[in-house]
Chains A and B, each alone.
Chain A
Amino acid sequence: GQNIDQPTEMTATEGAIVQINCTYQTSGFNGLFWYQQHAGEAPTFLSYNVLDGLEEKGRFSSFLSRSKGYSYLLLKELQMKDSASYLCAVREIYNFNKFYFGSGTKLNVKP
Chain B
Amino acid sequence: GAVVSQHPSRVICKSGTSVKIECRSLDFQATTMFWYRQFPKQSLMLMATSNEGSKATYEQGVEKDKFLINHASLTLSTLTVTSAHPEDSSFYICSAREGTDYGYTFGSGTRLTVV
Q: Mark A86-104, 1 if CB is under 8 A from B, else 0.
A: 0101000000011101111
**A42-B93 in contact given A4-B43, A101-B44, A103-B43 (Cβ < 8 Å):** yes
| A103 lies within 8 A of B109 (CB) | no
Q: Mark B89-115, 1 if CB is under 8 A from A, else 0.
A: 001010001000111111111010000
Q: Could you tell me the distance in whole angstroms from the C-beta of B94 to the nearest C-beta in chain A?
A: 9
Q: Are A101 and B43 neighbours in the complex by a CB distance under 8 Å?
A: yes
Question: Does A44 reach chain B (CB closer than 8 Å)?
Answer: yes
List the A residue with the shortest CB-CB distance to B110.
A42
Q: Is the CB of A43 within 8 A of B44?
A: yes
Contact present for B102 and A31 (CB under 8 Å) = yes
B residues in contact (CB < 8 Å) with A: 6, 32, 34, 41-46, 49, 91, 93, 97, 101-109, 111
Residues of A within 8 A of B (CB): 4, 31, 33, 35, 40-45, 48, 50, 87, 89, 97-99, 101-104
